[in-house]
Structure 1
Amino acid sequence: MASQMEVGDFFNLENRVAPLGLVVTEGAQELGAKIDAHLTKWAAEGGKDIETFIVESECPRFSSGDSKGLIKSTVRGDDLFFLIDVGNYSCTYDLFGEKNHMSPDDHFQDLKRLIQAASGKAHRITVIMPILYGGRQHRRNYRESLDCACALQELQAMGVSNIISFDAHDARVQNAIPLMGFDNVMPSYQVLKALFHNVPDLMLDRDHFMVVSPDEGAMNRNMYYASVLGVDLGMFYKRRDYSRVVNGRNPIVAHEYLGTSVEGKDVFITDDIISSGESMLDIAYELKKQKARRIFCYATYAIFTNGLDPFDKAVNSGVVDGVFGSNLTYRSPELRRREWFYEVDVSKYIAYFIAAINHDMSISSIIDPHEKIKALLAKRKGE
């Protein structure tokens, strides 16, 4: 990854592909402001005094619910980056006199409206969509829709060149757009940095620390953490009742643990999303039965659709010691006030992506943070 000494070079006029513009949809304003702060700081280091890279835009709605996209300055010839959070349910609009919360469908429509508003005048369009629209509906089992694949093809047809997503539920959805750029990024370095900062007394050796995958689907990301940290890896197998469907899924009958003993060890569990949180809590309670010392959970998208009370109870009873989640999607004010929740800031990481792509630089070192993690571990050990 580029060092602080090098970031000023990102804004050399001779190197960039085209003038940079950041179009931030309504649900991503907070993250967009943080990304813009990094970009303007680096621009200043490169000798360019730019107040903001954010292109003013909006999607006003009529009382019937219809909307339109507006971009309020010229974007002709610009390298445009559209930032969207389809998971921000706090955004509202008036619909026949009632307050209506925006769904992922509404957010995705607004993205398409703003791309339309650019009117094909941009030099290139990149969409930064951390949580993929329709990403959990990634494969077909019966006669059912393939929302994510269809959405990606829509964006391709609208002239989008690149998609940047984070910790996709199943990155194989990119097979729907084989000729378009698609980067699925894992913020592993940022997660470990936050973990070490907030839990400084962790002992990272096989006798005191362990990584546990919550299911077989999360094995790759947990395998990565175990590998770079040099500790053991365990996993849970979700035994489901495939004869029934409850709330759109087959209910879990039991979690079966596979791996070495967790007795007396701190355990780190990572997954892509905490939705209801039932699976994560079931695993935490099971690990406590097996005498695990402390349990720390991480999910890239900590959305807590069923509320926070179950996790409050788990923390108060000493089962869970902390939950980490990124700022890639909306976090409720109630969650952010919880002492047991630790936020992982990924804004600088996204800013690196934008700067690198804007200058047609290789992003391989940004995608694979192995060297950064090695340096982080060495610094922690005082080497």
Structure 2
Amino acid sequence: MTKVSFSELIPVAPLKIYAHPSCANLGTLVNDDIIHSRNNDVSEEECHALTRIGYQSESYLLDTECPRFGSGEAKAKLNESVRGKDLYILADVTNHSGEYLAFGNSTFTSPDDIFQDIKRIISACNGKPYRTTVILPYLYENRQNRRNVLESLDCATALQELSSMGVENIITFDSHDPTVQNSIPIQGFDNFTTAFQFIREISRTESDIIFDKEHLMIVSPDDGGMSRAVYYANVLGVDMGMFYKRRNYAAKENVDGKNPIIGIEFLGNSVADKDVIVVDDMIATGTSIIETAYELKKRHAKNIYIVASFGLFSEGLERFDKAYEDGVINRIYTTNLVYASDELKNKPYYTSVDLSKYISLIINTLNHDTSVNDILVPTLRIQELLADIKK
């Protein structure tokens, strides 16, 4: 392995990572990968000097805690100094597995609780870090990104709060609407895509899949995810299709706050006898994804693979179990960027895509103040992967 020069190894400041309990497992994986990669970068002679300047450490995880009072109120407490450190705060706001006691009752942690903890940590640092970067794999409140009537703009407000507290960079993945960054136009905001990792995992798990337009098609379940599906289709060199729902806007009654659906239409070439990858940013209730899969089967699609960065499964797994038993879906891929229950992990149709090495690469790159353009847009890496697969 070729060693890089000593000057290239010097970071802008010693690295520290705060992994919120909602992201503890992912934080540990990221920390271990950074330790491993940095140990491989240096010779024994350079090791001591690099340890002194903060490049190497036994652990980059920040020792801190957010204890709660009996009323449910909380505070952040740092158990080590962050003065002059390049601090990265990692949190999963969708993780509902955490609990705390309030007035003797057990309460699960909500996205609001976790976001407040992030602000508490920033406040406890008291402006001492050299630089603070917040990594929210699932961007907090990104689904409330626009105002249709008299509604709050929660995502924009949250970004402005972080900016006003001194956060220089905000990092997220496959944002539901990346244009929300316009609310903080002079702050750093990077939206990384997970396309390469998904394509690589699909090629590993589906040995008989063929990445060409005669055998494969990309489908978006609605118009909102069309740009994402277009990217997949372009880099893979295959066709793309999209579903849209015709609604009765003249109806006085609605279903779950929405106008009733009077028809589902498909735009695109035939999916008959083709494998189909359904691409979306998240699986929440799963209604749209399951409807899309059944509609594709009606059109004689061969195998259906569902790809979504965030598997929230907010209404359980029963409908996915049924779709799998009916032979409608073959596999669901989501990332470990958000919490996944043990029940989900044990499903025969589920595969988790590990993004820890990707996050460690991003942190390592930024800690050296070098460009992230090559890892922000993964087109070249996908093309190299496809070339290897064809061999």
User: What is the letter of the counterpart of residue 317 of structure 1?
Assistant: D
Aligned to 2:268: 259
Structure 2 residues without counterparts, runs of 5 or longer: 48-55
1:118-129 map, 5 Å: 118-129=125-136
Aligned to 2:50: none
Task: Indicate the RMSD between aligned Cα atoms, in angstroms.
Answer: 1.6
Match of 1:361 among 370, 383, 391: 370
Aligned-pair distance for 1:255? 2.6
Match of 1:272 among 278, 281, 300: 281
Aligned-pair distance for 1:309? 0.8
Given the alignment of the two structures, is residue 78 of structure 1 paired with residue 73 of structure 2, yes or no?
no
Q: Is the 8 A contact 2:84 2:130 kept in 1?
A: yes
Aligned to 1:187: 194
User: What is the letter of the counterpart of residue 51 of structure 1?
Assistant: E
Q: Is the 8 A contact 1:43 1:50 kept in 2?
A: no
Aligned to 1:20: 15
Aligned-pair distance for 1:371? 1.0
Aligned to 1:93: 100
Post-superposition CA distance 1:80-104 (Å, at most 9, x none): 0000100000011001111101110
What SS is found at the alignment partner of 2:72? Answer: coil
Aligned to 2:176: 169
Match of 1:30 among 25, 33, 43: 25
Q: Is the 8 A contact 1:20 1:79 kept in 2?
A: yes
Aligned-pair distance for 1:342? 0.6
Given the alignment of the two structures, is residue 156 of structure 1 paired with residue 163 of structure 2, yes or no?
yes
> Counterparts of 1:273 and 1:245 in 2: how far apart (Å)?
24
Q: Is the 8 A contact 1:255 1:282 kept in 2?
A: no
Aligned-pair distance for 1:339? 1.1
> Counterparts of 1:233 and 1:15 in 2: how far apart (Å)?
45
Given the alignment of the two structures, is residue 314 of structure 1 paired with residue 323 of structure 2, yes or no?
yes
Q: Is the 8 A contact 2:169 2:189 kept in 1?
A: yes
> Counterparts of 2:18 and 2:259 in 1: how far apart (Å)?
39
Aligned-pair distance for 1:179? 0.5
Aligned-pair distance for 1:13? 7.6
User: What is the letter of the counterpart of residue 267 of structure 2?
Assistant: L
Aligned to 2:347: 338
Aligned-pair distance for 1:253? 4.5
User: What is the letter of the counterpart of residue 135 of structure 2?
Assistant: I
Aligned to 1:301: 310
Q: Is the 8 A contact 1:12 1:46 kept in 2?
A: no
Q: Is the 8 A contact 1:255 1:283 kept in 2?
A: no
Aligned to 1:108: 115
Q: Is the 8 A contact 1:210 1:233 kept in 2?
A: yes
Aligned to 1:327: 336
Q: Is the 8 A contact 2:12 2:368 kept in 1?
A: yes
What SS is found at the alignment partner of 1:126? Answer: strand
What SS is found at the alignment partner of 2:152? Answer: coil
Q: Cα 1:12–1:130, aligned 2, differ >3 Å: closer, same or farther? A: farther
> Counterparts of 1:37 and 1:367 in 2: how far apart (Å)?
22
User: What is the letter of the counterpart of residue 157 of structure 2?
Assistant: C
> Counterparts of 1:327 and 1:145 in 2: how far apart (Å)?
30
Q: Cα 1:260–1:100, aligned 2, differ >3 Å: closer, same or farther? A: same
Aligned-pair distance for 1:166? 0.5
TM-score, normalised to structure 2, is: 0.93
Aligned to 2:297: 288
What SS is found at the alignment partner of 2:365? Answer: helix
Structure 1 residues without counterparts, runs of 5 or longer: none
TM-score, normalised to structure 1, is: 0.95
Q: Cα 1:276–1:14, aligned 2, differ >3 Å: closer, same or farther? A: closer
> Counterparts of 2:114 and 2:258 in 1: how far apart (Å)?
25
Q: Is the 8 A contact 1:19 1:78 kept in 2?
A: yes
Post-superposition CA distance 1:53-101 (Å, at most 9, x none): 0011111101100100112101100000000100000011001111101
Post-superposition CA distance 1:307-366 (Å, at most 9, x none): 101011101110000000001100111101111001111111111110111111010000
What SS is found at the alignment partner of 1:133? Answer: coil
Aligned-pair distance for 1:50? 2.1
Q: Is the 8 A contact 1:272 1:300 kept in 2?
A: yes
Q: Cα 1:121–1:381, aligned 2, differ >3 Å: closer, same or farther? A: same
What SS is found at the alignment partner of 2:159? Answer: helix
> Counterparts of 1:249 and 1:169 in 2: how far apart (Å)?
20
Aligned to 1:208: 215
Tell me whether 322-331 or 236-245 shows the greater mean CA deviation: 236-245
Aligned-pair distance for 1:51? 1.4
Match of 1:144 among 148, 151, 166: 151
**Displaced runs of 4 or more, over 4 A:** 11-14, 241-253
